[in-house]
Amino acid sequence: MSTSTIERQTTERPTSTWTCPNCRTETDTARKRCTDCKTSRY
């Protein structure tokens, strides 16, 4: 019987992003506003 180790990714990168319609900057889905131009995603 073999034992396998599952590696967890501990990176701080978001799992998904949305693209700002104003400046086309990618922002993580946890944020509701663009980090660059402060446009709301809704």
CB-based contact 13:3 (threshold 8 Å):
no
Taking residue 3's Cβ as centre, other Cβ atoms within 10 Å add up to: 4
Give 1-35 pLDDT, tens digit per residue: 566 666 655 555 546 888 999 999 998 888 888 88
* Single-letter amino acid code for the residue at 27: T
Q: Angle at CA 10, nearest 5°, toward 6 and 15?
A: 100
What's the pTM? 0.49
CB-based contact 35:25 (threshold 8 Å):
yes
Alpha-carbon gap, residue 41 to 23, rounded angstroms: 12
